[in-house]
Amino acid sequence: MASVVATGRSVSVRSGVDGTVAVGVELLEGRRIVHARTSSDYRRGALARHDGESLTRAAQLARELRIPLVLELSSSGADVSVGIDALHGWGGAAAAVAACSGIVPVIAAAVGPVVSGPALLLGLADLVIMAPEAVAFVSGPAMVAAFTGVRLAPRELGGAAVHATASGLCAIEADDVLDAVAELLEFLPDHADEEPAVLPSGDPGDRLAPELRTVIPPAERASYDVRDVIRAIADDGALSEVWMRWAPQLVTSFARLGGRAVGVVANQPRSLAGTLDIAASQKGARFVRLCDAFNLPIITLVDTPGFLPGKDLEWRGMIRHGAELVFAYGEATVPRLCVVLRKAFGGAYIVMDSRGLGNDLCVAWPQSEIAVMGAPGAVQILHRRTAPADRVAKEAEYREQLLTPWVAAERGLVDEVIDPAETRIILHRALRALATKRELLRGRKHGGGPL
C-alpha cells in the first residue's frame, strides 16, 4: 500500500514493496520529478531483480509523465545472493534509462559507494552529481590490485575528486545533491518537446558591459578568466558551471540572457592557453548535445590558438575525439551564437562553432585574430628564407593584412565586428529574433558520429 511522505522539500509517493529501491513522483522546488533512490541500509544497497525492475519502472514513468528522472544511488552492485537474476534486473534498468536519453532530463546523484555494473547507470545520465562521501567504480580496489599490483584506496580509485578531474563523470560536487539537482533543473525543460522556462529578469537586455573593453590584456600571451566575460554577458552575472574541474581549458556553463536559459561554451586562456585536447573536445561535445536535446540556445566564446600538439594525444585518438565536437555542433538545431574574443586559429577555429558549421550569428571583437595560424608560424612557412632580422616586419605585415577580423567579415565568415561593450545587447537581440527558429529534421534512426 502506498503512503504519502511529506518533507520541507518535497511530497513523494513511495512503494510499499520491501527492497533497496524506493520510487516516487515528487515536487522538488516546485518541479515534478520521478525520484528513484537506493538505500544502502538494506544489503548495502545491493540490487536484486525486483530492485532493477523498480528502477526500470521509474524510467518508464518519467517517459510516460514527460518529467525529469532523478536517480539517487548508493549501491554495492548486483545482489550476489540471488545470482543471474540480479544482473538481469539492473540490465533492464540500464535499457530503460537509455531510452530516456534525449526525451527527458536524466540526472544521477551518487551519495555513497556505487559499485560494479550499476555504476554504469551514472554514465547513462545527462549530468552526474557526487556527494563528498561518494565513490564509483566498475572494478574495485581488490580487483585492481589483483590484476595490476597497484593498491589504491576507494577514494583514490573512484572518489568524487577523481571523477571531477580525471574521468569527467562528475559534473558537480555538492554536499546537498538535491539542491544541486534543483539548480540544474532551473535551466532544463521537463522534456525535449518543451522549451526551458523564461524567467523574469531585472537585468535589462540592452545593458552595456563596458568592462569587456578591457577584460583582455594588451599583451598577446597574457591570460584572463573567460568566466568574467560570461558574467558580464549573463543576467545578474550568474552562471552555473558544469564539469568545472575536468578539462578546465574549456568552460561549459548554464546561464540566462534576457530571462532565457542558454548554454555557454568558452575557451579558457588561463588553462593550457585555451587549446583543445581530447578531454576538452569530449566535454564540449557532450554539453552541446545536451543543450541541443533540451532546446537551450548555445553561445560559443572563442579564444583558442588551436589543438594541443603531442604524440600521446594523436595516438589516443585526437582526430576521432576532436571530431566529436565538430559532429555535435554540426547536428545542433538550436539557435547558435558565436563570439570571437581574441584568437581563432586553424582546426580549433572550425570546431568552435564557426560559420562553416552553420552558426546563426558570428561576431568578433576588434582585436580578434582569425586565420589558419598565428603570425610567427605563418611567416616561418611563407618566408622561411627571410633573414631573422626581417621576420618581425613580416609578422607585422601578416597581422595587418590577414589576421584582422575585417578580413573574415569581408568574406562573410563574420557577420559584424562589434564593440565588446555591446556584446550582451547584440546576443540578446539575436536570441529574441531566433526564438521561433525551427528546422525540419530528416527522418533517420540516429547519426553514427565519432564516439
One-letter amino acid of 96: A
pLDDT of residue 45: 59
Quickly state the pLDDT bin for 29 (edges 50, 70, 90): very high
Average pLDDT of 118-133?
A: 94
The residues, any chain, with a CB within 8 Å of residue 226's CB and separated by 6 or more, are 251, 266, 267, 268, 269, 270, 274, 301, 303, 341
The residue among 120 and 419 whose pLDDT is bigger is 419
User: Looking at the predicted structure, is the pLDDT value of residue 167 above 70?
Assistant: yes
Which domains does the chain carry? 3-185 (3.90.226.10), 210-433 (3.90.226.10)
The residue among 365 and 148 whose pLDDT is bigger is 365
Reported pTM: 0.92
**What helix, strand, coil percent values describe the chain, rounded to 5?**
40, 20, 35
pLDDT of residue 267: 97
Helix axes 423-433, 226-233, angle to 10 degrees: 60
Quickly state the pLDDT bin for 43 (edges 50, 70, 90): low
Q: Are 284 and 322 in contact (CB under 8 A)?
A: no
pLDDT of residue 6: 41
pLDDT of residue 80: 54
36-40, 171-175, 194-198, 322-326: the lowest-pLDDT one = 36-40
- The total of other beta-carbon atoms located within 10 Å of residue 443's CB is 4
Residue-averaged pLDDT of the chain: 88
pLDDT of residue 11: 40
Q: What percent of the chain has pLDDT over 90?
A: 64
The residues, any chain, with a CB within 8 Å of residue 46's CB and separated by 6 or more, are 20, 75, 76, 77, 78, 79, 80, 81, 86
pLDDT of residue 423: 98
User: Looking at the predicted structure, is the pLDDT value of residue 5 above 60?
Assistant: no
Quickly state the pLDDT bin for 13 (edges 50, 70, 90): very low
- The total of other beta-carbon atoms located within 10 Å of residue 127's CB is 22
